[in-house]
Chains A and B, each alone.
Chain A
Amino acid sequence: MSSGLIEWLIFLSLAMIAIVTAAGMIITMSMYRAGLALMASFVALAGLFILLNADLLAAIQVMMNVGGMLVMVLFMVMMMMDPGGEMMWGMKRDMHMRGPGALSMHMPSGPPPPEEQEGQLDAGAMSDMDVQETEVGGHDMSDMEMGSMTPRQNYTMMVDMAMSTAQLPWAIVLGVVSALLLVILLILTPWPLAGIAPTQDASRVVGELLLSRYMIAFEGAALLILAGIAGAVLLAKRERSRVQTPPETKQRGEQP
């Protein structure tokens, strides 16, 4: 097998991985998996960089994205509800919706039902609360009672849970058109070929540039990072007094 063919195969597989995981990131229900998929997509891109002999770029790509994505995923786990997508999966299964459980819900098809009149509401006590709750995304499980909601509210809730809008078809058309436009532009542009070989010692060149021409940006970035660290430490240092000290102060006072 010639090395050209192997290179092609590797390029194709890396490119497919990058595209598929990026798509997976968008359509999956689980936040953790979305973060991981983005990480995988970037790592595949790093593989493509290595194919292009840009080792430093590949290493930097992996370094920044793996660490950064992991921390981002962890913050999502801390702050958000249902980061693993399990609640949504359960709801999808219970409501017998179509499609695999791990992927986002489909938009309800058909036109939205008309607004209900005042007098036609049933189980009226719950309905106002329902509207408010579903705005936020239906967090409170107690009002997932299908029977107590009007079709309009049902529709709104489904749209919310699909994390999408009613303009989805238009968005798809626009996306496909712009993608085609970009691809045509890519193919038709006469990219200039540099006659020189890629830099062998990229890190040396980058280092010299960073400390000569881009010195101010370099130092400024360091200052910004310091500010970020100080801010993070301050934000994370919470009030420990009420949780911990009562037993401690008692003990300190009574130590022999």
Chain B
Amino acid sequence: MSVFITPLFVVCVLLVGTYFIAVIEQLLRLGLRSIGIALTLPLANAIRLLYQEDLTPRGADFFLFRSAPFIALAVVSLVALVIPLGPTLIAFNPSIGLFYFIVLLSPFVVAITNAAWSQNSKEGLFATFRAAAYLISYEVPIGFAAIGPVMATQSLSTQRIVEVQAGLWFVVWQPLGLAIYLIAALFVSFRHPFDSALAGSELEGGAFAEYSGGRLLLFKIALAALFLLLMAMGVVLFFGGWQGPVLPGPLWFALKTFALSALVLWLAHFFPRLRHDQMLTLSWKILLPASLLNITLVGILTLTIPVGR
């Protein structure tokens, strides 16, 4: 029975986490005084979307338009399996957990590309190419930023990475890695300031222009869930996962994840939406050399300073 219980549990935790991410977003936008509105507005929005008619444009690609939200959700669910919530609370613990995580992020961009392409419009085509360019641009920085903790841990397993941080969190001596990881995470999850492929006014709605109703809701949930998972993995990699003194592991993990998400969302809103080529410049000319530098530094530190073994 655990074959069915575990995925169900994972999906439920994901939905609850997504709800809290939406709440944090609303709090940041409306200010801390409107906590009542922030708690209920995401639910009201979701219900509103469910009432809306679910349109399929006539010229849209039959399979791609309909399957794109489900691909996105499938990716998000698969990726959520390797996040360790507690000392033994992990759904799938292969020896290559982190590699599995990073690799399974790419079909999400495929879902977005499909969504943009299947609209059968010129603006959609622009969004397709932009999204695919971001796929290539983020893979290397996020991989290299995540390799820092792997080098220190000598293992790709997410559970092992958390366990090794019992003495000292990796953020203390790999801050550059954290910075690169967070920027790349914003790329992956198409968040402001990197939401050029989903840009509202600029590209007539971008990839989500023709989605409405339930499908749009699925996409929005998938996006928020992806952001949550990236922040969760950031906590696992750099902030010690579920480690913490008094409270139980899962609670620490939740607190750390939401704190990191709030921090990233708050920092992100100081920038305007970056242009497509500015994003590519950032990725290839700034993040890539920085991540190479990061690997060098972390390698030197790992070899010379015996930390956390």
Contact = CB atoms under 8 A, between A and B. Distances in A.
- Chain A interface mostly: helix
A63 B100 CA distance: 9
Nearest to B114: A36
B156 A102 contact: no
A62 B103 contact: yes
A33 B3 contact: no
B110 interface: yes
Given A55-B95, A62-B107, A70 B3 contact: no
Interface in B121-174: 125, 128-129, 132, 135-136, 139, 155-156
Interface stretch (A116-124, A195-203, A242-250): A195-203
Contacts of A33: 61, 63-64
A41 B3 CA distance: 24
A84 B61 contact: yes
B100 A59 contact: yes
Contact of B132 (A58, A71, A203): A71
B173 to A, nearest CB: 23
Contacts of A71: 132, 136
A62 B74 CA distance: 14
Interface in B34-91: 59, 61-64
B106 A77 contact: no
B104 interface: yes
A77 B117 CA distance: 10
B96 interface: yes
A162 interface: no
Interface of A: 3, 6, 30, 32-33, 36, 39, 43, 55-56, 58-60, 62-63, 66-67, 70-71, 74, 77, 84, 86, 102, 200-203
Given A32-B64, A84-B61, 19 more contacts: A30-B61, A33-B61, A36-B114, A39-B110, A55-B94, A55-B100, A56-B96, A56-B99, A58-B100, A59-B100, A62-B106, A63-B106, A67-B106, A70-B113, A74-B132, A77-B125, A84-B120, A201-B155, A203-B95
